[in-house]
Structure 1
Amino acid sequence: MPLQALRTVTKSQNGVGAFILQCKRMEFHYCDWAGSSRGMNAFLKSHLQAFAKANPQVEITVSPRPGRHPVVRGLYMNGREKAVCVRNMAPSEIVQKATLLRNANGERLRRVTKPVKSMNESVRGVWDPFHGSQHRVAAMAASEKDAEVHIENTNIHGNADDAPPYSEDDHMTLQAYLALAAISSQYVAYILTLLMPSTIVSYINADLGPDPNYTWINVSWNVAASVMVTVGGRLSDIFGRRYFMIAGACIALIGAVVGATGQSINQMIASGVLFGIGGGLLEMCFAAVQEVVPMRYRVFAIGCFEMTALIAFVSPVIAYAMLSQTIMGWRAVYWFLSSFEACGLMLLMFCYKPPTFHTKHRTDGKTRIELLRQMDFFGVLLFASGYISFLLGINWGGRKYAWSSAPVISTIVIGAVLLVSLGLWEAFANLKYPMLPPKSGLLFVPAGKPIIAGVYANMVSYGTILAGLVVVFFCQRVGHERWQQVGFMVVQTALIGSLASVGLDDKIQAIITIIVLATTITPPQLLAFVMISMNIDDQVDIGVANGLASTFRLMGGAVATAIYSAILSNRFASELPKKMAPVIAANNISASSAAGLLKSAALNTAAAYKSALSLPGVTATVIGSTQRAVKLAYVDAFKMVYLIALAFGGVAIICAAFTKSIPKDRKTLRRAVKMENETKVEDLETKA
């Protein structure tokens, strides 16, 4: 390749030197038959020519390596060399590795514990990207056989913003730890808005109702959150997370105030919707916490992150204590939520300062309007409308309308069609930013002992606390995340099946099983977040990746809640007359009184049983027998729910077997982002 030297005149300028690439040769070794070399073979066919043309100053060689993993090797002017194994990597990943080798200088990476300061006004090394004008080497191809190489002055003044957003060995700073504290406070608030209202929902219905739609106080949270989490994740990836997190905290605060002052079930549902919208935006905390810590410690960090929500996991006890010890009753719970949200909002505003829009787009020069135009708003519309329609149909079936009624069938069919249309739209539309690239409750508790009721309500939370310890001390050390997922799914499915054998008086078996089951639920969820974030090619998309995971998790929870609630209600309605028949026969209750007693049993409230005492032949003893019959009917109804859940457990095991463990070479000390206040400190040190 003929080279033509350019005439240049030296000039006195601080920090400017000629750019001399230190890599002189790169070797690409492949295997014809090994499965680990498929990505390398595809790279050689489709990417190598472009890579070589873009780097004419580097000698490129390709040679076979039979029976061995593929390797990319770089040889440098100082006589050193570096090699990277690229087994099982995609072509795009190999391009990234080759680019890193090309830009390296052969020296070993050394961890510097002290800030590096320039003590004189001279050129540091052969090229300094932080001062003066940057230079780049470009090739002007005149034909297929020759090219003219020249050095072009881009006349862009370099500064710290032009450096990569991370290094291979990023240490944690005080600003990073404060950011983690702020993110954790929002996670606690997020869990509180889910657990505390669901704990007291029956008391709300008793005070403001009764209303058959009161379950939507909880369901609306999942619906709104699952729609918002993907949108918020994608938007925060593009525009920065800070103001989306702050918006989520503000909306959740408004939801708490609306709930505290609510005068009807519809207002409480509106509060649940606001909680869901705020929670959907705050759900990106799973992505935010992983960005801040080194990639090697993401599993450990997200386990500790889960354990910080201890106050949220014991919130059912707090809720029942407020019910029994405060004059405001259930409204005190919402005022507690509003005060906690306000404190978390202040912490978020002062301590969480992730990369801004300017930092994220300092190189591409795109504007906010330009990026908004490229968003997949039609996909969001299809998803939201299809999901809500499908969920409404399932929730109505067997309760508000018969399963064969037109409202149920039409809403389910319309929802399914819209969701299928969403898949086709995402697959075939030319989109720049496509949208698609835990909950428990108690039925019977001691009515006269609200604190004990709160302790029972915490059974799942006790297991969740243990789950955080499992993630920190077990999952982080073991690795092999795919097989961990399979193991957790197998244990979950077995324990869910065992719950079908729990009888009315098997309290110890139920408590132990639920705690152990809850211990196995959280680890695979947290592992899934880390596996997804570590396996994506570009950490810039961590928000939308975790957002999609959260969307389907919340959507699955909402759909499962609707399905299982419908099964439970229908099964209970069919079992209750069978369980009540012996009670009616043993006490010689008339047909008219039996109908009223059966109606009171179906309502299963203190007021209903009190009114039933006025029926002829109904005594306190009969009421006691009726309550036991109701419990037996619920036992059989829940048994059906658990047996049906086994089928979903089997599907989960199969899906877990097809996941992908985190590659060891990605478990580095690299951090995906730095806080804005961290960057400013380092800029001052660099410019000193």
Structure 2
Amino acid sequence: MEDKELPPTQVVSRESNEPIIQNDTFAIKAEALGNDLPPNYYRSIGFIGTIFAFCMSNISQFISFILPANMLTFIGQDIGPSPNLTWVSLAYSLGLSVGFLLVGRLSDIFGRRWFFIGGNALSLIGGIVGAAAKDVETLIAADLLMGLGGSVQISFTVAVSELVPNKYRPSTIVAIFFSSFQIACFGPVISQSIVSTTSQTWRWAYYLNIICAGLAVVAFFFFYHPPTFSLLHMNRSFKQQLRRQDLVGFILFTGGLLLFIMGLSWGGLMYPWGSSHVIATIVVGFVALVLFVLYDAYVHPRIHGDPLLPTHLFRKPGYLAMVAAATGGSSVYYSMNVLAPQQVAYLFPSPSVIHAGWLTCSVGSGCLLGQIVAGWLSQYVHRSRWIMIGSCSMLVAFAAAMTTVEAGESSKWVGLMIMAMFSVGIIETCSLSLAPLSLPSEDIGAALGALGSIRSAGGSVSTAVLSTILNNKVNAIVAPAVMQEAQAQGLSVAQIKGVVEQLATGMFISVPGVDMETATQLSLVRSASAADAWRYVWYAVIAFAGLALILSFTTIDYGQYLTDEVTRKMHGRTVGVVEGEKRSGERSEESV
């Protein structure tokens, strides 16, 4: 192949026997485009069934991560103990992060139908394995399967965006996100209630996933018929296209991202940050990712064919800025899903796990509320650049306000957390629905896949950084304050050692010889000093939010792209489109 930039999308012909869009990767038939939708297409059983499939798939994805993550303590008590318990959530995150780009790019090229059927089938199998697990190691394998399936499930943003008019992308994405509100908003409480009130306890998290993923598989099989490989590639066979794929890039990307995220997740938890395990894993992973980008930019297009990461996307106006701003904002959401329960436990200790769960619900609830509002804003307010700037400014402001929260001020904490996550929800929806609009339609999967993988890596970085800050400040501020109070209360050396061991849980009453009055006083000191420690965490959050704010000024307005154009259409009798049939007339103007 000649040494030249990948040519832009070109409209070649409108004859059905010639490609209408052609470049080095694609030769797309006119029948694949959404220019001639039949009457009542959006009211057909096929389209409605497809939306139902996306909703079930999305609910399954939220169940797979949120419920088990909030049940780890109970899982460890039931089938543990195991030093690998933290790998349950980590395995899911690894599968999800690696799968984003792979699913997006490969489904662009080979068609999306079997990716969505297969991805939900993986999640279904993971649910079955998890529900029957008798040890933590089996559960880790189950969550890895569900994570890989989850990378397909969360990619509904790719699939649904190409099926509806551009101007309805934000509201359609938000509608599907809203289908999982019960888990996204109330997952922590649901988790605690399931464990407390059912005989199968934590296994119900996997039973529920089996139900939703199973329904999604059935619905996708019968209703979801997007353009097939033959409609996307008139000039190549499946085997010819397969030989053009980026095997070296695949190895560098998957290996590099896995090592990088594993190293960040290990640091300060499984191994010290200065250990060879952590340093070597992070460095090797980072180098592999750099080599991956260089290989896909300069080597693979020249010698073989289609790179896994089309680097020409990042030269398009606004895309790189939107990805960078979204990564800065979303990193706050990812880290708060991990750290917010810890802040609740330290600052607002309560014997009721349900009460703690309700407080933690502010993270998911605030984000979903922001997503809903952003769906309306993005669709009707075409100054999307100012929407991004405004939401990032809100995030900085409310992150700064979080530094003023003191022990016992739970209402203040909930209000500020909801507003901070509200701004993150706006950033999320704007980036997912608008970022691909300025790019060629055939690259939408690669665009959102790259965005998802970069955001996920950014979330891992922020979680590692904030967790390290928290651990350091707890050791430097909270532990000395509690030890000093224990000494003032006249506790023995052995009792003080027991108090320090209970620092994370706050269960000082469990230390032999410590009465209720002393335990209460120690708890008050623990909470007050923890408020000081948490200020440093939120100072770092301000830095991440500030980075997002700076980058938001470089984004563009996407209003000009919010048109009636439909990128792709489904086929089959359930939507009234039979491949090979010619249709005349303009696309139906009925709204989604």
2:96 and 2:563 map into 1 onto residues whose CA distance is 32
Question: Aligned residue for 1:397?
Answer: 267
The answer to whether the Cα contact below 8 Å between 2:31 and 2:231 also exists between their aligned partners in 1 is no
Q: Offset at 1:285?
A: 0.6
Question: Aligned residue for 1:269?
Answer: 140
**Residues 425-480 of structure 1: CA deviation (Å, up to 9, x unaligned):** 12211323222225425132776544434422321232233223312332311112
Would you say 1:341 and 2:213 are equivalent positions?
A: yes
Q: Offset at 1:588?
A: 0.8
Question: Aligned residue for 1:618?
Answer: 514
Rate the CA distance shift 1:239–1:609 in 2: closer, same or farther, 3 A.
farther
2:35 maps to a residue whose letter is: S
**Residues 532-552 of structure 1: CA deviation (Å, up to 9, x unaligned):** 221112x12211111111111
Report which of the two has the higher share of helix. Answer: 2
1:209 and 1:568 map into 2 onto residues whose CA distance is 27
2:396 and 2:84 map into 1 onto residues whose CA distance is 31
Aligned with 1:627 (options 505, 523, 526): 523
The answer to whether the Cα contact below 8 Å between 1:601 and 1:627 also exists between their aligned partners in 2 is no
Q: Offset at 1:682?
A: 8.0
**Residues 224-256 of structure 1: CA deviation (Å, up to 9, x unaligned):** 111111111111111111111111111111222
Question: Aligned residue for 1:552?
Answer: 454
Would you say 1:198 and 2:56 are equivalent positions?
A: no
Question: Aligned residue for 1:316?
Answer: 188
The answer to whether the Cα contact below 8 Å between 2:59 and 2:212 also exists between their aligned partners in 1 is no
Rate the CA distance shift 1:671–1:655 in 2: closer, same or farther, 3 A.
same
1:240 maps to a residue whose letter is: G
The answer to whether the Cα contact below 8 Å between 1:221 and 1:275 also exists between their aligned partners in 2 is yes
Would you say 1:353 and 2:250 are equivalent positions?
A: no
Question: Aligned residue for 1:482?
Answer: 385
Within 5 Å, which residues of 2 pair with 1:90-489? 92=8, 163=31, 165-167=33-35, 172-174=42-44, 175-313=46-184, 314-361=186-233, 363-364=234-235, 366-431=236-301, 432-437=305-310, 438-439=333-334, 440=337, 441-443=340-342, 444=345, 448-489=351-392
1:474 and 1:353 map into 2 onto residues whose CA distance is 31
1:269 and 1:467 map into 2 onto residues whose CA distance is 32
Question: Aligned residue for 1:571?
Answer: 473
Would you say 1:646 and 2:519 are equivalent positions?
A: no
Rate the CA distance shift 1:461–1:397 in 2: closer, same or farther, 3 A.
closer
The answer to whether the Cα contact below 8 Å between 1:579 and 1:632 also exists between their aligned partners in 2 is no
Q: Offset at 1:380?
A: 2.1
1:178 and 1:218 map into 2 onto residues whose CA distance is 31
1:164 and 1:407 map into 2 onto residues whose CA distance is 49
Would you say 1:513 and 2:440 are equivalent positions?
A: no
1:166 and 1:571 map into 2 onto residues whose CA distance is 56
Report which of the two has the higher share of strand. Answer: 1
The answer to whether the Cα contact below 8 Å between 2:91 and 2:144 also exists between their aligned partners in 1 is yes
TM-score by length of 2: 0.83
1:294 and 1:641 map into 2 onto residues whose CA distance is 42
2:466 and 2:131 map into 1 onto residues whose CA distance is 29
TM-score by length of 1: 0.72
1:634 and 1:203 map into 2 onto residues whose CA distance is 25
2:210 and 2:525 map into 1 onto residues whose CA distance is 41
Q: Offset at 1:651?
A: 1.5
2:391 maps to a residue whose letter is: F
Aligned with 1:674 (options 530, 553, 569): 569
The answer to whether the Cα contact below 8 Å between 2:32 and 2:227 also exists between their aligned partners in 1 is no
Q: Offset at 1:326?
A: 0.8
2:134 and 2:524 map into 1 onto residues whose CA distance is 34
RCO (CA 8 Å, sep 6+): is it higher in 1 or 2? Answer: 2
Q: Name whichever of 263-272 and 643-652 sits farther off.
A: 263-272
* Counterpart secondary structure, 1:292: coil
1:468 and 1:410 map into 2 onto residues whose CA distance is 38
Q: Offset at 1:509?
A: 1.0
1:647 and 1:270 map into 2 onto residues whose CA distance is 36
1:317 and 1:195 map into 2 onto residues whose CA distance is 11
Structure 2 gaps, min length 5: 19-27, 311-332, 585-592
Rate the CA distance shift 1:626–1:273 in 2: closer, same or farther, 3 A.
farther
How many pairs align? 533
Would you say 1:656 and 2:552 are equivalent positions?
A: yes
Question: Aligned residue for 1:36?
Answer: none
1:273 and 1:681 map into 2 onto residues whose CA distance is 38
1:589 maps to a residue whose letter is: L
Rate the CA distance shift 1:635–1:201 in 2: closer, same or farther, 3 A.
farther
1:413 maps to a residue whose letter is: V
1:586 maps to a residue whose letter is: A
**Residues 327-367 of structure 1: CA deviation (Å, up to 9, x unaligned):** 22222222222222222222222222212222222x22x12
1:601 and 1:662 map into 2 onto residues whose CA distance is 50
1:284 and 1:335 map into 2 onto residues whose CA distance is 23
The answer to whether the Cα contact below 8 Å between 2:509 and 2:515 also exists between their aligned partners in 1 is no
1:332 and 1:92 map into 2 onto residues whose CA distance is 49
Q: CA RMSD in A?
A: 2.9
Question: Aligned residue for 1:123?
Answer: none
* Counterpart secondary structure, 1:458: helix
Q: Offset at 1:286?
A: 0.7
The answer to whether the Cα contact below 8 Å between 2:265 and 2:460 also exists between their aligned partners in 1 is no
1:412 maps to a residue whose letter is: I
1:184 maps to a residue whose letter is: C
Structure 1 gaps, min length 5: 1-45, 47-89, 104-128, 135-159
Q: Offset at 1:676?
A: 1.5
Q: Offset at 1:626?
A: 3.3
Q: Name whichever of 246-255 and 672-681 sits farther off.
A: 672-681
* Counterpart secondary structure, 1:255: helix
The answer to whether the Cα contact below 8 Å between 1:321 and 1:450 also exists between their aligned partners in 2 is no
* Counterpart secondary structure, 2:406: coil
- For the pair shown, the structure with the greater C-alpha radius of gyration is 1
**Residues 485-534 of structure 1: CA deviation (Å, up to 9, x unaligned):** 12111111221122122111111110111111221112211211222221
1:589 and 1:605 map into 2 onto residues whose CA distance is 16
Rate the CA distance shift 1:524–1:560 in 2: closer, same or farther, 3 A.
same
Rate the CA distance shift 1:522–1:168 in 2: closer, same or farther, 3 A.
farther
The answer to whether the Cα contact below 8 Å between 2:122 and 2:148 also exists between their aligned partners in 1 is yes
2:254 and 2:579 map into 1 onto residues whose CA distance is 43
**Residues 366-412 of structure 1: CA deviation (Å, up to 9, x unaligned):** 12222122111211221222222223333333333333332222222
Q: What's the % identity of the aligned pairs?
A: 27
Rate the CA distance shift 1:453–1:341 in 2: closer, same or farther, 3 A.
farther
Rate the CA distance shift 1:400–1:182 in 2: closer, same or farther, 3 A.
closer
1:672 maps to a residue whose letter is: T
The answer to whether the Cα contact below 8 Å between 2:94 and 2:258 also exists between their aligned partners in 1 is yes
* Counterpart secondary structure, 2:274: coil
Aligned with 1:526 (options 398, 421, 429): 429
The answer to whether the Cα contact below 8 Å between 1:531 and 1:660 also exists between their aligned partners in 2 is no
2:60 maps to a residue whose letter is: A
1:527 and 1:393 map into 2 onto residues whose CA distance is 31
Rate the CA distance shift 1:574–1:407 in 2: closer, same or farther, 3 A.
same
1:301 maps to a residue whose letter is: T
1:231 and 1:317 map into 2 onto residues whose CA distance is 34
1:338 and 1:241 map into 2 onto residues whose CA distance is 22
1:265 and 1:91 map into 2 onto residues whose CA distance is 50
The answer to whether the Cα contact below 8 Å between 1:496 and 1:645 also exists between their aligned partners in 2 is yes
